[in-house]
Amino acid sequence: MHIPQELKYSREHEWVQVNGNTCRVGITDYAQQSLGDVVFVELPEIGRVLERGEAFGVVESVKAASDCYSPLAGTVTAVNQELLDTPQLINEDPYGRGWIMEVEIANPDQLEGLLTAVQYEELVREGGA
């Protein structure tokens, strides 16, 4: 399982790539493997204001629908439209072309609450969340 060192992680299996005052968010390799083949993604609307921990979208596999939870408070500035027609990008490239949204960070202090790659790996090894 792939857990890039440079990213931050949530306990709900989202990754966060910080870029100045914005960040890119997706679901982890572990999450996509657990879900299986992704066949549908519901994206948030651009401009939507999210609380930390708020459900912002849905990733659906053949078997089930799973909510995604925002790892940080902020405003959605971009979404990955490519996922609408090719949701399998989440399986194929979860940290790259399978990104889900970009958020303008409301409170940079919340970054401290995220997990490092090492901490996330421990969480996964202990059996998920």
Among 49, 84, 118, 129, binds another protein (CB under 8 A): 84
Pick from 37, 51, 92, 122 the residue near another protein by CB under 8 A. Answer: 37
SS3 96: coil
- The amino acid that residue 26 corresponds to is G
Tell me how many residues contact another protein (CB under 8 A): 13
**DSSP notation for 113-124:** GSBPHHHHHHHH
49 binds another protein (CB under 8 A): no
* Cα 16 to Cα 14: distance, rounded to the nearest angstrom: 7
- Asked if 82 is part of the footprint of another protein (rule: CB under 8 A), the reply reads no
40, 82, 92, 96: which one binds another protein (CB under 8 A):
40
